[in-house]
């Protein structure tokens, strides 16, 4: 029989921590700091709107780009939060999570051989999506000494004549790094000079713990027309299971993305779209409350790491801290596996997010304070043991 | 800072000052002073424990009593409320807008004890015109906490 498989798909590297998943799944009593989704339930009034829409029989497809009312609310929201101006009719596409938007954007913009710059450590899907879109991924290793921010110099060095798109994954999963206005202005200059586009994944935008809050690169002068902004409801409104995100950008790009979306997906889930309208209209207080809780836990973790003498830069975004474990002379994988075996706590090795994550761990604080304290107590014990053994 | 301290200790009054200060990113002494000041001002009126009595062997009965009163010269709602809230078995007294005047929450050992309080003490007050007693059959949620159910984390252990 002929080989039924696509060579390109087979060649895609599977997620690096598969074996780790397997070990954890055989340890039902293990506790975890490995989860990349909110621990909060979706606020009740949002769930209630979803239920209400079902009761009213809103069970049909929506238009391909999504409910117009939702697109309008998204434009209002982006305007009030980040001073962005998008046209609901032609510049917004509702997608099945931010993930779909990443895929669609790359497929809409890439010609074979175009280079996509992917700063790492970062979320695992950019590279495979770029490859599936026929792009050549160019990995840019972010550095701990820059607090894992992207600098203009690093970006400039990675750009070639073939560069078409740079991915901007901030606030960042797994490092928690953010890009402040000045950082964005510096790279925007390079982007404009080199005539390239930005795919800005701002799914964690609401979870920014500086007084100024998140700044979108699309709000920097000259960048709106060069940016595909990706955001969604998963992290901000604790709606991961609803699978709802969106992309905003220049009309011509959104039109092509909508075309692919129409053929591949049809439309995002209708129930989720109705719930999301409620989230945007009346969800600000919920977001503020969740954000305050995350921030309290973030401060708690940073304080504990400082006491433990575990080096960790202060991350101002998402719900992750990214401590350095190089002093123990183990790889991230080895450390995480040993920690799991000895203390039954699952954390994610930094290398799951790119080679530049070596020597680091991703620790999620999407957990209650009680859970965090238990797990961190075990980490303290484990670290003390390792240091004693040295 | 006050609002943030209150929102945390309203849920968990046992949290240590040190931990509270870390979580809020504030100085420990400043947090301690603020709490002391709020205790002094009566903003913080006490630290209680939320108990699900259903889970104990101790029998308790609680009732909500709607009370309609008549006001007399020189005597306002405050005076009548005071006469009622002095009784130790009275858990709370609220002045209510709408169809009746005071809502009294009563905790007693038995049905008999509650009814005897209503008929012998509450109804006999001169200013009380009428009462309607509602016995609580089951408490689902109290003080913002859902009773009876422990939350289970249903998330996958690893999500990238």
Same domain, A262 and A352: no
Same domain, B69 and B20: no
CA distance A239 to A40: 9
Judge contact between A136 and A114, C-beta under 8 A.
yes
- Asked if residue A92 has pLDDT above 70, the reply is yes
Q: Two tokens at B122? A: 């509450």
Same domain, B16 and B63: no
Same domain, B83 and B133: yes
The mean-pLDDT minimum among A4-18, A75-89, A337-351 falls in A4-18
Specify the pLDDT at position B150.
80
Same domain, A67 and A216: yes
Same domain, A116 and A237: yes
Q: Two tokens at A291? A: 């954000």
- pLDDT (mean) for A68-96: 98
Same domain, B133 and B88: yes
CA distance A25 to A23: 6
Rounded to the nearest 10°, the torsion over CA A116, A151, A161, A188 is 90
Same domain, B90 and B12: no
Question: Where is the domain boundary, A282, A310, A341?
Answer: A282
Binned at pLDDT 50, 70 and 90, residue A24 comes out as confident
Nearest CB among B7, B22, B159 relative to A37 is that of B159
- pLDDT (mean) for A345-367: 96
Inter-chain contacts counted by CB atoms under 8 A, chains A and B: 51
User: Over its length of 160 residues, how does chain B's per-residue pLDDT go in tens digits?
Assistant: 999 999 999 999 999 999 999 999 999 999 999 999 999 999 999 999 999 988 899 999 999 999 999 988 888 999 999 999 999 999 999 999 999 999 999 998 999 999 999 999 999 998 999 999 999 999 999 988 888 878 888 888 888 8
Q: Is residue B149 part of a domain?
A: no
CATH no. for residue B20? 1.10.10
Same domain, B58 and B119: yes
Q: What pLDDT digit, counting tens, does each position of B98-144 carry?
A: 999 999 999 989 999 999 999 999 999 989 999 999 999 999 999 88
Q: Is residue B154 part of a domain?
A: no
Q: Is residue A204 part of a domain?
A: yes
Q: Is residue B62 part of a domain?
A: yes
Same domain, A193 and A48: yes
Q: Is residue B147 part of a domain?
A: no
Q: Is residue A113 part of a domain?
A: yes
Interchain pair B158, A21: CB under 8 A: yes
Please state the separation of Cα A210 from the chain's center in Å: 18
Interchain pair A346, B24: CB under 8 A: no
- Asked if residue A388 has pLDDT above 90, the reply is yes
Tell me whether residue B29 is exposed, middle or buried, using C-beta atoms within 10 angstroms of its C-beta: 0 to 12, 13 to 18, 19 or more.
Answer: exposed
Same domain, B102 and B132: yes
Specify the pLDDT at position A291.
98
Same domain, B121 and B85: yes
Same domain, A88 and A189: yes
Q: Is residue B159 part of a domain?
A: no
Tell me whether residue A215 is exposed, middle or buried, using C-beta atoms within 10 angstroms of its C-beta: 0 to 12, 13 to 18, 19 or more.
Answer: buried
Judge contact between A224 and A218, C-beta under 8 A.
yes
B157 neighbourhood in chain A, CB within 8 Å: 24-25, 30, 32, 34-35, 346
Interchain pair B158, A123: CB under 8 A: no
Average pLDDT, chain A: 96
- Asked if residue A356 has pLDDT above 90, the reply is yes
- Asked if residue A349 has pLDDT above 90, the reply is yes
Chain A residues whose C-beta sits inside 8 Å of any chain B C-beta = 15, 17, 20-21, 24-25, 30, 32, 34-37, 39, 123-124, 173, 292, 295-297, 299-300, 303, 346, 348, 352-353, 369, 371
CA distance A181 to B45: 45
Same domain, A143 and A264: yes
β-pair type (A361-364, A320-321):
antiparallel
Same domain, B64 and B88: yes
Q: Is residue B150 part of a domain?
A: no
Interchain pair A34, B8: CB under 8 A: no
Q: Is residue A57 part of a domain?
A: yes
Q: Is residue A103 part of a domain?
A: yes
A280 CA: distance to closest CA in chain B (Å): 24
Interchain pair A124, B23: CB under 8 A: no
Query: Which chain B residue shows the shortest CA-CA distance from A18?
Result: B158
Q: Two tokens at A71? A: 């697109």
Specify the pLDDT at position A13.
84
Binned at pLDDT 50, 70 and 90, residue A240 comes out as very high
Nearest CB among A15, A35, A173 relative to B157 is that of A35
Quick check: helix, strand or coil at residue A165? Answer: strand
Question: Where is the domain boundary, A251, A282, A313?
Answer: A282
Query: What domain range is A362 assigned to?
Result: 7-42+285-389
Query: What domain range is B21 assigned to?
Result: 2-41
Same domain, A191 and A317: no
Same domain, B61 and B128: yes
Q: Is residue B148 part of a domain?
A: no
CATH no. for residue A54? 3.40.640.10
Q: Is residue A1 part of a domain?
A: no
Q: Is residue A2 part of a domain?
A: no
Specify the pLDDT at position A16.
67
Judge contact between A170 and A206, C-beta under 8 A.
no
Same domain, A291 and A238: no
Specify the pLDDT at position A19.
74
Please count the other Cβ atoms lying within 10 Å of the Cβ belonging to residue A251.
Answer: 13
Q: What pLDDT digit, counting tens, does each position of A117-153 carry?
A: 999 999 999 999 999 999 999 999 999 999 999 999 9
Q: Is residue A20 part of a domain?
A: yes
B25 neighbourhood in chain A, CB within 8 Å: 295, 299
- Asked if residue A232 has pLDDT above 80, the reply is yes
A41 CA: distance to closest CA in chain B (Å): 10
CATH no. for residue A330? 3.90.1150.10
B4 CA: distance to closest CA in chain A (Å): 9
CA distance A266 to A96: 10
Question: Where is the domain boundary, A282, A309, A327?
Answer: A282
Q: What pLDDT digit, counting tens, does each position of A295-326 carry?
A: 999 999 999 999 999 999 999 999 999 999 99
Same domain, B63 and B125: yes
Number of domains in chain A: 2
Chain B residues whose C-beta sits inside 8 Å of any chain A C-beta = 4, 7-8, 19, 22-25, 153, 155-160
Nearest CB among B7, B25, B157 relative to A299 is that of B25
- pLDDT (mean) for A213-228: 98
Same domain, A329 and A247: no
Same domain, A29 and A169: no
Same domain, A307 and A278: no
Q: What pLDDT digit, counting tens, does each position of A158-180 carry?
A: 999 999 999 999 999 999 999 99
Same domain, A292 and A361: yes
Specify the pLDDT at position A209.
98
Same domain, B13 and B57: no
CA distance B29 to B14: 17
Interchain pair B160, A303: CB under 8 A: no
Nearest CB among A21, A24, A296 relative to B23 is that of A296
A318 neighbourhood in chain B, CB within 8 Å: none
Interchain pair A20, B158: CB under 8 A: yes
Judge contact between A360 and A322, C-beta under 8 A.
yes
- Asked if residue A17 has pLDDT above 80, the reply is no
Number of domains in chain B: 2
CATH no. for residue B125? 3.30.70.920
């Amino acid at each position: 029989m002929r080989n039924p498989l696509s060579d390109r798909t087979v060649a895609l590297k599977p997620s690096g921590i598969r074996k780790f998943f397997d070990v954890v799944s055989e340890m039902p009593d293990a506790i975890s700091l490995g989860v990349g989704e909110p621990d909060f339930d979706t606020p009740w009034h949002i769930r209630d709107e979803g239920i209400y829409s079902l009761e009213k029989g809103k069970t049909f497809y929506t238009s391909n780009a999504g409910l117009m009312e939702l697109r309008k609310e998204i434009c209002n929201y982006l305007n009030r939060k980040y001073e962005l101006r998008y046209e609901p009719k032609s510049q917004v596409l509702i997608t099945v999570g931010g993930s779909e938007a990443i895929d669609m954007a790359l497929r809409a913009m890439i010609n074979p051989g175009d280079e996509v710059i992917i700063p790492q450590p970062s979320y695992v899907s950019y590279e495979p999506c770029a490859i599936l879109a026929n792009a050549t991924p160019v990995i840019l290793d972010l550095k701990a000494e820059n607090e894992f921010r992207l600098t203009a110099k690093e970006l400039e060095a990675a750009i070639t004549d073939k560069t078409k798109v740079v991915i901007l994954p901030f606030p960042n999963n797994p490092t928690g790094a953010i890009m402040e206005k000045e950082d964005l202005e510096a790279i925007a200059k390079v982007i404009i000079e080199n005539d390239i586009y930005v795919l800005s994944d701002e799914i964690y935008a609401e979870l920014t713990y500086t007084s100024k809050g998140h700044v979108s690169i699309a709000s920097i002068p000259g960048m709106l027309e060069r940016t595909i902004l990706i955001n969604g409801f998963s992290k901000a409104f604790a709606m991961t299971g609803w699978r709802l995100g969106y992309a905003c950008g220049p009309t011509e790009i959104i039109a092509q993305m909508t075309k692919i979306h129409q053929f591949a997906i049809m439309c995002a889930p209708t129930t989720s779209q109705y719930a999301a309208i409620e989230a945007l209209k009346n969800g600000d207080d919920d977001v503020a409350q969740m954000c305050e809780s995350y921030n309290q836990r973030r401060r708690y973790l940073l304080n504990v790491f400082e006491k433990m003498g575990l080096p960790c830069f202060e991350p101002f975004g998402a719900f992750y801290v990214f401590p350095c474990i190089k002093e123990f002379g183990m790889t991230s994988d080895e450390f995480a596996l040993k920690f799991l075996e000895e203390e039954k706590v699952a954390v994610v090795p930094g290398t799951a997010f790119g080679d530049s994550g070596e020597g680091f761990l991703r620790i999620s604080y999407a957990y209650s304070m009680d859970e965090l304290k238990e797990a961190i107590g075990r980490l303290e014990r484990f670290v003390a043991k390792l240091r004693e053994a040295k | 800072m006050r609002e943030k301290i209150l929102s945390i200790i309203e849920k968990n009054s046992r949290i240590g000052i040190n931990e509270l200060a870390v979580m809020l990113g504030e100085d420990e002494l400043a947090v301690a002073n603020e709490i002391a000041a709020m205790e002094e001002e009566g903003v913080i009126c006490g630290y209680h424990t939320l108990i699900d009595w259903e889970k104990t062997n101790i029998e308790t009965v609680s009732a909500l009593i709607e009370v309609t009163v008549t006001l007399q010269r020189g005597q306002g709602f405050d005076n009548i409320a005071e006469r009622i809230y002095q009784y130790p078995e009275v858990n709370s007294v609220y002045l209510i807008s709408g169809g009746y005047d005071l809502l009294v929450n009563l905790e007693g050992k038995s049905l008999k004890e509650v009814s005897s309080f209503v008929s012998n003490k509450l109804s006999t007050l001169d200013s009380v015109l009428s009462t309607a007693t509602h016995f609580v059959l089951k408490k689902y949620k109290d003080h913002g906490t859902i009773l009876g159910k422990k939350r289970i984390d249903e998330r996958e252990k690893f999500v990238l």
